[in-house]
């Protein structure tokens, strides 16, 4: 049973397209996150939701829009994809307290050509 699952695992698309990545967690956690990992392995938080409410919104282009239909799901929609959006996107969840670790999904490798 996968705790945090993301789909798709790989996504190859052309510049200008719109794409979505889905994430679901079955851990009963209250908080979900999206992180971006660039080609140098640097991990940067993008968004966080707690019980469907946005609580962290880092400096991310507004082409990126997260959507949380319920606390078990956090999807990421990206409009007008650019070459610089190529990266691995990781979804994660946690119980919400500051000493609770994050549980990560397997990542979605996005390649924009």
Distance of CA 47 to the CA centre of its chain: 8
Residue 104, interface with other proteins (CB under 8 A)?
A: yes
Write down the number of H helices and E strands in the chain.
Answer: 0, 11
Task: Compute the distance between CA of residue 37 and CA of residue 35 in angstroms, rounded to an integer.
Answer: 7
Task: Compute the distance between CA of residue 15 and CA of residue 53 in angstroms, rounded to an integer.
Answer: 30
Residue 76, interface with other proteins (CB under 8 A)?
A: no
Residue 54, interface with other proteins (CB under 8 A)?
A: no
Which range of residues in 21-29, 60-68, 76-84, 96-104 is near other proteins by CB under 8 A? 96-104
């919400």: which residue's tokens? Answer: 96
Measured from the CB atom, the residue of 19 and 109 that comes closer to other proteins is: 109
Measured from the CB atom, the residue of 16 and 34 that comes closer to other proteins is: 34
Max CA-CA distance within the chain? 40
Binding site for other proteins (CB under 8 A): 31, 33, 35, 40-45, 48, 50, 55-56, 90, 92, 94, 96, 98-99, 101-107
């Amino acid at each position: 049973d996968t705790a945090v699952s993301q789909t798709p695992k790989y996504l190859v698309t052309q510049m200008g397209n719109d794409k979505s990545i889905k994430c679901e967690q079955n851990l009963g956690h209250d908080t979900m996150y999206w992180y971006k990992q660039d080609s140098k392995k640097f991990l940067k938080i993008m968004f966080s939701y707690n019980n469907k409410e946005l609580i962290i919104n880092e400096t991310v282009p507004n082409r990126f829009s997260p959507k949380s239909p319920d606390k078990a799901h956090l999807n990421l929609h990206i409009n007008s994809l650019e070459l610089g959006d190529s990266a691995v996107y990781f979804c994660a969840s946690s119980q919400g307290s500051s000493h609770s670790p994050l549980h990560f999904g397997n990542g979605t490798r996005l390649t924009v050509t």
